[in-house]
């Protein structure tokens, strides 16, 4: 078993950005953690196949939380590879499937009224991006402490960024996939995108929670791999 980060570079608003979905390899079974923005499927496929892994072996997708840079291409993956088992927390599943309007959309709509005219242009665009996300049903709903992936991975509830955010702990590898519970900021673990955190107190507690695991390696979606 091993974990590989998938650096996905893209341009946004005139700047080069990179996100780092994770690929978990267990024998011939592949599990992808988070799917990038909408239309990122070809970019992620390219990173996987250039390492000589076959997409036909992609068995699971785990979603850490419902933000558009994490679930944007989830629908495309499920449409192209219908056998994929989609895993997310029980709390996040209701937002990803569209049963309930996402907390992020509610937050964005509430903030729009107090934005300056310059900010409103971005705010309006962002709201439309969230509304355009295609909903996908979750096959496997998990909770804190659940052991998944042949009991090699422990689900760790890390709320704050969103209410149902999860991270993933691999005891045998002593590694954590953080999602947005932590970012690699200049080789230090810090709260990811604090302005987007729905509950800063919970986010701080969640960061401490995964730090207290004392892992050797943290795979951060923003900033990439952090090794102690």
Residue-wise pLDDT tens digits, 67-104: 999 999 999 999 999 999 999 999 999 999 999 999 99
In the predicted structure, residue 142 carries a pLDDT above the cut 90: yes
Q: Which residues, in sequence order, are bridge partners of residue 31?
A: 24, 60
CATH superfamily of the 2-100+134-227 domain: Ribonuclease Z/Hydroxyacylglutathione hydrolase-like (3.60.15.10)
Distance of CA 73 to the CA centre of its chain: 11
Domain ranges of the chain: 2-100+134-227
Q: Calculate the dihedral angle through the C-alpha atoms of 165, 155, 52, 12, rounding to the nearest 10 degrees.
A: 10
**How many Å apart are CA 88 and CA 207, to the nearest integer?**
19
**Cβ-based neighbour number of residue 143 at 10 Å:** 12
**How many Å apart are CA 181 and CA 72, to the nearest integer?**
19
Greater confidence, 13 or 142? 142
**Is there a contact between 28 and 20 (Cβ–Cβ < 8 Å)?**
no
In the predicted structure, residue 51 carries a pLDDT above the cut 90: yes
In the predicted structure, residue 114 carries a pLDDT above the cut 90: no
User: What is residue 190's predicted lDDT score, i.e. its pLDDT?
Assistant: 96
| Dihedral of alpha carbons 127, 109, 182, 152, sign | negative
Average pLDDT for residues 39-53, to the nearest whole number?
A: 97
Between 103-112 and 117-132, two packed helices, what is the crossing angle to 10 degrees? 160
């Amino acid at each position: 078993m091993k974990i590989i980060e998938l650096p996905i570079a893209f341009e946004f608003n005139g700047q080069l950005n990179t996100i780092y979905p994770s690929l978990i390899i267990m024998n011939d079974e592949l599990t992808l953690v988070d799917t990038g923005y909408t239309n990122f499927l070809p970019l992620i496929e390219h990173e996987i196949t250039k390492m000589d892994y076959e997409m036909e072996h992609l068995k699971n997708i785990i979603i850490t939380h419902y933000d558009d840079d994490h679930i944007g291409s989830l629908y495309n993956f499920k449409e192209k590879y219908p056998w994929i088992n989609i895993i997310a927390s029980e709390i996040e599943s209701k937002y990803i499937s569209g049963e309930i309007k996402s907390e992020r959309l509610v937050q964005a709509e509430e903030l729009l009224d107090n934005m300056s005219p310059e900010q409103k242009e971005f705010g309006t665009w962002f709201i439309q991006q969230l509304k355009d996300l295609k909903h996908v049903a979750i096959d496997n709903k998990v909770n804190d402490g659940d052991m998944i992936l042949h009991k090699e991975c422990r689900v760790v509830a890390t709320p704050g960024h969103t209410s149902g955010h999860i991270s993933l702990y691999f005891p045998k590898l002593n590694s954590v996939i953080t999602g947005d519970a932590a970012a690699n900021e200049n080789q230090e673990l810090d709260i990811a995108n604090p302005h987007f955190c729905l509950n800063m107190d919970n986010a701080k507690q969640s960061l401490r929670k995964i730090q207290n695991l004392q892992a050797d390696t943290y795979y951060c979606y923003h900033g990439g791999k952090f090794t102690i």
